[in-house]
Amino acid sequence: MKRSYYTLWLPTLITSIMVVALFWAMHIFLHHNLAEMIQAHKHSQELTKKIEKMVSSTLNATFLGNEKGFLKTVELSNQIHDDILLIKKDNMYDTDSLFRSYEQLYKKLISAVSYTSENRLGDAKVALEEVESYSNNLEMQMSGLNNYFSQREKEVERTLFIIMILSGGLLVFIALFNGFYLIPRQVIRPLEEFAEALKGSEEKYRIVADWTYDWEYWLDVDKSIAYISPSVERITGYTPNEFMQNPSLLVDIIHPDDTPNWSKHVSEAHLPNRPEEDAQEVEFRVVRKDGAIIFVDHICRPVYTHDGIYMGVRVANRDITQKVAILDELKEKNRLLDTLATTDGLSALFNRRYFDEALIKEVEYARRTANALALVMCDIDYFKLYNDTYGHQEGDKVIKQVSDVLKATFSRTIDVVARYGGEEFVILLQATPPAEACKLVELARENIVKLGIKHKGSKVAPFVTMSFGVVSCVPDVLSNGDRLLTQSDKALYQSKKNGRNCTTLLEC
C-alpha cells in the first residue's frame, strides 16, 4: 500500500504543479500584458483628453494673461508626461515619436503664450496656427495608439482564451486520468482487495472462533457481549442469541453456591488497567437449561488495541464436568488403594505395615505429649490345632470374628487395632495408663470368650480364647517402639506361660 501511495501522489503532484505553473503563467501574462495594457490603453485614452484640455487651458490663460492660470497647463503637461512615460515604461508601444510630437506641440503652444505676453501678436498668431497643426498631428498619433491598444486587447483576449482552453483541457485530462485510471488502479482496486482480504480474514477468524470447542465470549467496555461462540449452546443449553438478548444470563446460570466466588472474581479480574498477559481463572458450576449441573473453568484477560486502548474482556469457558468426575473417581480409587495398602484383607483390621508406621508416630506423639501409650500384643490360643481340627476356612472365620470383637472393644478413633501376622494381633492405645489398658484388654478377652466358638483342640477351654501381653508407659529415650514390642511380646509369652486366656502387664 505504501508503494501504491507514492505512485499515486507523485503524478498527482506533478500534474498539480503543472496546473499551478500554468495558472501562474496566466497570472503573469495578465499582470504584465492585459492589466497593464488596459491601464496603458486607459492612459492613452485619457492622454487625448488631457492634451485637448491642456491646450484649452493654456489658450484661456493666455487670453486672460494670467500667469497663475498657466499652472493648470503645467500640471496637465506633467500628467501627460507621466502618462507617456508609463506607456513607454511598459514597453507596449514605441512612444518616442509620441513624445516628440507632444513636446513640439507643447513647445509651440508655450511659444505662442510667450509671444502673446510680449505683445508680439503676429508671431503669436503664427505660432497658434502651428499649434493647430501639431495638435492635429498628435491627434492622429493618439488615434493610432488607441487602435494599437484595441488590437492588442483582442490579441490578449484571444491568447487568454487559448490558455483557458488549454488549462481546462489539462484539468479535464487530470480529472479523467485520476478518475478513470490512477485512482481506480492505485486506490480503489487496492482498497477492494484489502476489503476482500479483510472480509476473508474476518470470515476465517469467525470460523476459527465459531469452531472453538470452548465457550468463548468477548465483553465490551460497557459490559455488553461483543461476541459469543456457538459452542455455548453445547455447554449451557442456551443459544448465543439468548445471551445476546439477555446478557445477564451469563450470571444467572451460575450455581447459587458459586455466586460469591464469581462476584469476587469479577470485582478483581474484569477491570481495565490490568496487564494483558495477566489471565485470571476461576471455577464454578453452571446450571444448564435442562437443569443439569456442570463444572466450568473460566479464564479471562483484558484486551487492548495496539495503541493501548482498553477493549474489554475476552473469556474462555471450558466444560470440565467430565474432568471433575474423573478426578473424583481417581480420588476414590486412591483412597481405596490407601485402604488396601493399610488393611488386612481377612480381618479388615490394619495390617502390620500400617501398624509399624503408626507405632513410630504414636510413640513420638506420646513422648511429646507425655501421655502413657499402651501396646497390647495378643494371639489366639492353640490356633494351629484349631486349623488342624476345623480346617483353614473355619480358622479364617475365627480370625474374622476375633478381629470384630477387638475392633468393637477398642473402638476409639485413635485406637489402632492391627493383625500382626497369623493369629497374632497388636493394639495401640493412646493416652491409656497400665490400669486402664488392662481393664480394656480384660474386657476384650472376656468378649472373645463370650463368642463361645468351639475349639476342641484347646487345652485351656472348649472354646476359643486369647492370651494378652500389655505394656503401658510414657515413652522415653529408652522405651521406643521396639522396646514396647519386645516388652509386650514378653508379657504375652508370660501370659501363655501362665496358662493362656489371661493378661500379663509388664513395665516398659
Binding residues for another protein, rule: CB under 8 A, are: 52, 55-56, 59-60, 62-63, 67-68, 70-71, 73-74, 77-78, 81, 85, 99, 103, 106-107, 110-111, 113-121, 124-125, 128-129, 131-132, 135
Cell 487345652 belongs to which residue?
A: 459
The secondary element (H helix, E strand) that includes residue 217 is: strand 215-219
- The residue among 50 and 285 lying less far from another protein, judged by its C-beta, is 50
Print burial letters for 109-127: b (CB count within 10 Å at least 16), e (below 16): bbbbbebbeeeeeeebeeb
- The residue among 96 and 268 lying less far from another protein, judged by its C-beta, is 96
Residue 164 C-beta: closest distance to another protein, Å = 38
Name residues whose C-beta falls within 8 Å of residue 214's C-beta, 6 or more positions apart in sequence.
Answer: 229, 231, 316, 317, 318, 319
Residue 147 C-beta: closest distance to another protein, Å = 21
Residue 59 C-beta: closest distance to another protein, Å = 5
Label residue 312 left, alpha or beta by phi (over 0 means left) and psi (-120 to 50 means alpha).
left
Residue 26 C-beta: closest distance to another protein, Å = 32
Residue 117 C-beta: closest distance to another protein, Å = 5
Beta strands in 357-475 (DSSP E): 373-380, 416-421, 424-429, 466-473
- The residue among 118 and 268 lying less far from another protein, judged by its C-beta, is 118
Q: Which three cell numbers stand for residue 61?
A: 490663460
Cα(481)–Cα(207) distance, rounded to whole angstroms?
69
Cα(165)–Cα(171) distance, rounded to whole angstroms?
10
- The residue among 105 and 416 lying less far from another protein, judged by its C-beta, is 105
Name residues whose C-beta falls within 8 Å of residue 354's C-beta, 6 or more positions apart in sequence.
Answer: 341, 342, 343, 416, 418
Q: Which member of 192, 423, 442, 446 is catalytic?
A: 423
CA 478, 483, 484, 489 torsion: positive or negative?
negative
- The residue among 126 and 385 lying less far from another protein, judged by its C-beta, is 126
Pairing of strands 466-473, 503-506: parallel
The yes-or-no answer on residue 423 being catalytic is: yes
Name the residues annotated as catalytic. 423
